[in-house]
Amino acid sequence: MALLSQQQAASLERKFDIIILVAAFTGTVAGYHIHQMLTVGDWDFWLDWKDRRWWVTLTPILLITFPAASQYFMWEKMRLPIGATFCIMTLHFGQWMNRVFNFYYWAWFPVNFTTPGLMIPSAIFLDVMLMLTGSYMFTALFGGMGWSLLFYPSNWVWLAPFHLAAKHPSGPLMSIADQMGMEYVRSATPEYIRIVERGTLRTFGRDVTPVSSFFAGFISGLVYIWWMFMGKWISKPVFISKT
């Protein structure tokens, strides 16, 4: 076999990088998106499920999973502090493809009704925390807390307009999100299955969200440790005997 020049070797290496990147991207979109749909599900899907308790609590806790495992692999094996951002970017890619092509162009739900929860700021915080500390423990504690605390504020920027109040012609006070939920019919989603604003995680006053966010932060740290070990298990090389 002819020896490759340095330039040819570099080009080949780059092509290999791209193949790895595309394969990792595709695999992560599939796996993480399915995980998100099966766990966070409706809370992340519909505008009228994005409340101040369940959505704020469940989304960070359930979505820190794949980033934690990816962070272990990418940091431990490659010193790449992009595990969380990579997972979240792939997830958002899959989500938007789904919401635009399936839920808008096929089923005619307006895109503002099915906008997913943004997690890029949370992911960047988690990645940089790992890079700066080099410690999974600190990343779980402080990164996990930051991951959860950044979630609601970073989404409120686009969500706030849908919490303007309107008086429905038939009488009740509704937010625009509630009204869209009523009008844009989902025949397999009766209102009573909407798990929003319920539960014992209550507040002493008007501010519900900080309570939910801090609680999510604590649990996210625990889930991070668990899935970090999952990443360790998955990353473990297995050698097959020659004989």
Partner 1 sequence: MRIGRTALSAILLGVIAVSAGGTAWAHGERSQEPFLRMRTITFYDTKWSKARVKPGEMMDLTGKFHTFSEWPRAVYLPDSIFLHYSVPGPSMLKKEAWMNGMPVINSTSTKLGGDYDYKLGIMGRVTGTYHVHPMVNIEGGGPLVGGGEFVTVDGDWSNFTNNVTTIDGQTVDMETHGQGRIIGWWLLWTIVGVFWLGYWVVRPFTRRIFMVGVVPEEELVSPGDRTVGLVLMIATVLIVAIGYVTTNGAYPITIPLQTGRMDAPELKPTTEFTPYAHATVRARPVTAVYTVPGRSLGMVLQVTNGSNRAQQLGGFITANLQFRDPALFPDTRLKIKVEPAGPIAPGQTATLTVDATDAEWEYQRLAELIYDSDSRYGGLLEFFDADKNRQIVEVGGPVIPSFEGGATALSGGGQWRPTTQYK
Q: Binders of partner 1 among 189-208, rule CB under 8 A?
A: 190-194, 196-198, 208
The residues with which 174 forms a beta bridge, in sequence order, are: 166
Q: How far is the CB of 154 from partner 1 (least distance, A)?
A: 5
Tokens of 201: 């995680």
Residue 40, SS3? coil
Candidates 37, 39, 184, 226: give the one binding partner 1 (CB under 8 A): 184
Q: By C-beta, is 66 or 162 nearer to partner 1?
A: 162
CA separation for the pair 221, 169 (Å, rounded):
46
Of 37-56, binders to partner 1 (CB under 8 A) are 48, 50-52
Secondary element (H or E) of residue 152: helix 151-159
Quick one: the chain helix, strand, coil %, rounded to 5?
Answer: 70, 0, 30
Q: By C-beta, is 163 or 226 nearer to partner 1?
A: 163
The one-letter code for the residue type at 230 is M
Q: By C-beta, is 61 or 123 nearer to partner 1?
A: 123
Apex CA 222: angle with CA 203 and CA 114, to 5°? 65
Of 220-239, binders to partner 1 (CB under 8 A) are none
Q: By C-beta, is 167 or 243 nearer to partner 1?
A: 167
Of 20-39, binders to partner 1 (CB under 8 A) are 20-21
Q: By C-beta, is 120 or 225 nearer to partner 1?
A: 120
Tokens of 212: 């939910």
Q: How far is the CB of 243 from partner 1 (least distance, A)?
A: 27
Of 89-148, binders to partner 1 (CB under 8 A) are 89, 92, 107-112, 115, 118, 120-121, 123-125, 127-129, 131-132, 146
Which of 190, 184, 228, 213 lies closest to 84 in space, CA to CA?
A: 228
Interface segment toward partner 1; rule CB under 8 A; list 36-44, 57-65, 168-176, 224-232: 168-176
CA separation for the pair 71, 65 (Å, rounded):
10
